Amino acid sequence: MRVAIVGSGPSGFYAAEALLQSEHTTEVDILERLPVPYGLVRYGVAPDHPRLKDVADTYAAIARHPRFSFIGNASFGKDFTLKELADCYHAVIFATGAATDRKLGIPGEDIQGSHAATSFVGWYNGHPDYRDLEFDLSGESAVIIGQGNVAIDVCRILAKSTDELRKTDIASHALDALADSRIREIHLIGRRGPVQARFTTKELRELGQLSECDPFVDPDNLLLSETCKSELSDVREPARARNFEIFRTFASRRQEKPKCCRVHFFLSPREARGEHRLEELVLERTRLAGAAGRQEAVGTGKTVSIKTGLMIRSVGYSGLPLEGVPFDEKLGTVPNKDGRATMTSSNGFPVYVTGWIKRGPTGIIGTNRADSMATVATLLADLPNFNSQPRPGREASVSLLAQRSVRSVSFHDWETIDQAEKARGLPLGKPREKFTRISEMLAASST
């Protein structure tokens, strides 16, 4: 059996692992849009969290399996189609993640100075799609909308000193820009309360341990309703109580460090204002309504505003539609049953999904392992229905790409790029200096 996986992030590699470990002799090809593998591990994980990137060693071990191939620099929908995958493979698993941002849907959202977290994270991580963006760090304040782990990553990167970031794998263009940053006050805005914030405890605690930045919470925001108290004591969600204790410590801090991070609750963005670029963000005070565990933010009609020239919207990611595959615009995912895409017409070609494109942008890297194992279990259960005609697999897809003048990148090529990046990082004391342009990656792969 020959299976293609589209996307080389965590869920793609875990799907490959599950297939290769199954009792069926399967050849697995991962096709990846970029010349480099690992998706969110390379381009999503914050540069100051290097341990989280160690999981790439596990993926490299999977990639060295004799029945595995990496085909990089091959973009689905541009360089090859679903029909062509059907000609080359017995099945496909899409593991394309959630590459774009969710919208706030407020006036002025796209004004200059307002950016999606996907862009900012991609920029500091050296993603080729975002490397030429510019972020105005010349003002004293920045606003981050959302209270999840991505928001906290963005906050840390703005709050840390250049010295703290210098030895990470942060892209040099970002380090240079951050070195000139004048941002001193960072507002981290949640539309609900401290009990509903989505930070994990480790990340929240780290916010209180930064060398240049003190976090603050208004003590009034920690006065809880009876419904919030019952959410706080829910034993199934122990992180809530742990986080709340951390917020308490933030409420009693005094500013001693040059920067501060104000964690606001019960504020929902309503309008981004400015003549030509962002000058002010208007927010509406909210209250919570609904039953415990399902409380939502409801506007009170009272507004406040924050003067700022930089807003990062970190309100979740969304998947992108895949040509020929159904897509749920609202959820940003591919409709599926246990990982099998609910296709109306694929001429019998079995299509599966895993990871964020399957279940939405939730969970940590490890969550994708169980998710991909579940999708592969569905695929293997479907095996008796597969067309058993031989499929040419890798040879055919690589030659198809070559016919289209697409220079595909093998795993060995990636290892050459990897070594070159590590060598570039060495004199700077960095684990690597990433290539941030596709042309540079391709040039490095052939040296």
User: Contact residues for ligand NAP (CB under 6 A)?
Assistant: 104, 145-151, 153, 190-192, 196, 198, 200, 203, 268, 314-317, 361-364
Residue 307 beta carbon to ligand NAP: minimum distance, rounded to whole angstroms: 19
Q: How far is CA 353 from CA 12, 93, 193, 197, 288, in A?
A: 9, 5, 34, 29, 35
Closest to ligand NAP by CB, 286 vs 436, is 286
Segments in 282-366 forming alpha helices (H)? 356-359
Closest to ligand NAP by CB, 113 vs 332, is 332
Closest to ligand NAP by CB, 69 vs 372, is 372
Contact 444, 408 (CB under 8 A): no
Rg of the chain (C-alpha set): 23
Closest to ligand NAP by CB, 348 vs 366, is 366
Contact 93, 432 (CB under 8 A): no
CA 367 to chain centre: 13
Residue 316 beta carbon to ligand NAP: minimum distance, rounded to whole angstroms: 4
Q: What letters, b where the CB count within 10 A reaches 16 and e where it falls short, cover 353-386?
A: bbbbbbbbbeeebebbbebbbbbbebbbeeeeee
Residue 143 beta carbon to ligand NAP: minimum distance, rounded to whole angstroms: 11
Residue 80 beta carbon to ligand NAP: minimum distance, rounded to whole angstroms: 29
Nearest residue to ligand NAP on Cβ basis:
148
Residue 421 beta carbon to ligand NAP: minimum distance, rounded to whole angstroms: 22
Residue 336 beta carbon to ligand NAP: minimum distance, rounded to whole angstroms: 19
Contact 26, 1 (CB under 8 A): yes
Query: How would you class 345 by CB atoms within 10 Å of its CB: exposed for 0-12, middle for 13-18, buried for 19 or more?
Result: exposed
Segments in 347-437 forming alpha helices (H)? 356-359, 367-382, 394-403, 411-425
Closest to ligand NAP by CB, 19 vs 207, is 207
Residue 257 beta carbon to ligand NAP: minimum distance, rounded to whole angstroms: 23
Closest to ligand NAP by CB, 314 vs 397, is 314
Closest to ligand NAP by CB, 179 vs 304, is 304
- Tell whether the torsion through CA atoms of 132, 133, 137 and 138 is positive or negative: positive
Angle at 321 between CA 319 and CA 322, to 5 degrees: 120
Q: How many CB atoms lie within 10 A of CB 52?
A: 14
Closest to ligand NAP by CB, 314 vs 445, is 314
Q: Sheet harboring 340-341: ordered strands across?
A: 68-71, 27-31, 2-6, 91-94, 351-353, 340-341, 336-337
Segments in 208-306 forming alpha helices (H)? 226-232, 238-251
Residue 121 beta carbon to ligand NAP: minimum distance, rounded to whole angstroms: 9
Residue 29 beta carbon to ligand NAP: minimum distance, rounded to whole angstroms: 27
Residue of 97, 135, 125, 83 lying closest to 278 (CA atoms): 135
Closest to ligand NAP by CB, 3 vs 315, is 315
